[in-house]
Amino acid sequence: MAFKNILLEKKEGVAKITINLPPLNILDIPTLEEMSQALAELKDDDEVKVVAITGSGDKAFSAGVAVGDHLGDKLPKMVEVFHQLFLSLIKVDKPTIALVNGVALGGGCEIVAGCDMAVASEKAQLGQPEIKLGVYPPPASVLFPRIMGRQKAFELILSGDSISAKEAERIGLVNKVVPAAEFKQASEEFTKRFTANSGLALTQARRALYRNFDLNFHEALEATGVDATIVMAGENSVEGLSAFLEKRKPIWIR
């Protein structure tokens, strides 16, 4: 479908969703809805192995959700569509990578946290300033403790302070920080590490990771043991294992 506020590009197994509202790529309700619609579309596209999300221009990934959408009659709808986006990021069933080209604040930072991985320009700043407006960031309150631990999550959410890309890398909010001049090339190289793999295997492994996050160790190990046998007996897995033994590149079924 055609989108107004985002761009959707597909190339060599990577689908890139670009928030196309420069310079700050402020998120409003229609934009959030478009992002979830794009993710739903990509779920059923077997040609796409990885989904990348970024912002238009070089100033901001996204400076957050429009303040006006937090007020009055818009508030319930904004909360609904914003939270739906995080469910859509999981349901897309493909690895998601935030390409943080500039500031990522408020809802923008939460989207970074909601992606599976993130690459950031060294000039990026990330943070949750909501507390300074008398509110708190709901998705961040769920995601941050799982990513960076209790103490740092308390500090960032309760202070509202922003952090550098390097600090975000140190605490696990982003995977890699690169010089601004090398950001585009480095982002492409990072995503290509995953597109070389079987799309089906990426989906299966990702599902296991999300499931195991919510189980205790013994439950997770038992669940993984049950589905590992099924997965490894599949046609795609047999091809990968056979290719290794035969010293050739695998020809993935998907």
Q: What is the pLDDT of residues 192-214, one digit of tens each?
A: 999 989 998 899 999 999 999 98
List the structure tokens of 166: 């390097």
Confidence (pLDDT) at 61:
98
What φ, ψ does residue 239 adopt, rounded to 5°? Answer: -65, -45
Low-confidence spans in the chain with pLDDT less than 70: 1, 232-233
* CATH number 3.90.226.10 is the correct assignment for the domain at 6-195: yes
Contact 86, 139 (CB under 8 A): yes
Radius of gyration of the chain (CA): 19
Confidence (pLDDT) at 120:
98
Q: Where are the domains of the chain?
A: 6-195, 199-245
Confidence (pLDDT) at 62:
98
Confidence (pLDDT) at 241:
73
Cis bond before residue 23 (omega within 30° of 0) = yes
**CA-closest candidate to residue 25, choices 1, 67, 56:** 56
Task: Note the pTM of the prediction, 2 decimals.
Answer: 0.92
Confidence (pLDDT) at 4:
96
**CA-closest candidate to residue 51, choices 16, 87, 86:** 16
* Residues classed as catalytic: 110, 130
